[in-house]
Amino acid sequence: MSRTEFGSVVVIDDDKAYLHTVALMLRAIGFDKISTYENGYDAIESIEDTKPDLVISDWDMPILTGIDVLMCMRDDPDLCTVPFILNTGHLGQERWKEAIKCGVTEFLFKPFSFQDFKSSVLLALDLAEAESDLEEMDEKLAS
Does the pTM exceed 0.75?
A: yes
Can you give the pLDDT at residue 126?
Answer: 87
What is the distance between the alpha carbons of residues 17 and 23, in angstroms, rounded to a whole number? 10
How far, in Å, CA of 6 to CA of 31, rounded? 5
Q: How far apart are CA 122 and CA 43, in angstroms?
A: 22
Q: Are 19 and 38 in contact (CB under 8 A)?
A: yes
pLDDT score recorded for residue 3: 45
pLDDT of 116: 93
Q: Rounded distance, CA 69 to CA 92, Å? A: 20
Tens-digit pLDDT string for the chain (143 aa):
444 467 899 999 999 999 999 999 999 999 989 999 999 999 999 999 999 999 999 999 988 999 999 999 999 999 999 999 999 887 778 888 899 999 999 989 888 999 999 999 999 998 766 555 555 555 555 66
Nearest Cα neighbor of 103 from 73, 123, 131 is 73
Task: Give the pLDDT confidence score for residue 137 in this predicted structure.
Answer: 54
What confidence score (pLDDT) does residue 1 get? 44
Q: What confidence score (pLDDT) does residue 129 get? A: 66
**Strand pairing category for 106-109 and 33-37:** unpaired
Amino acid 2: pLDDT: 42
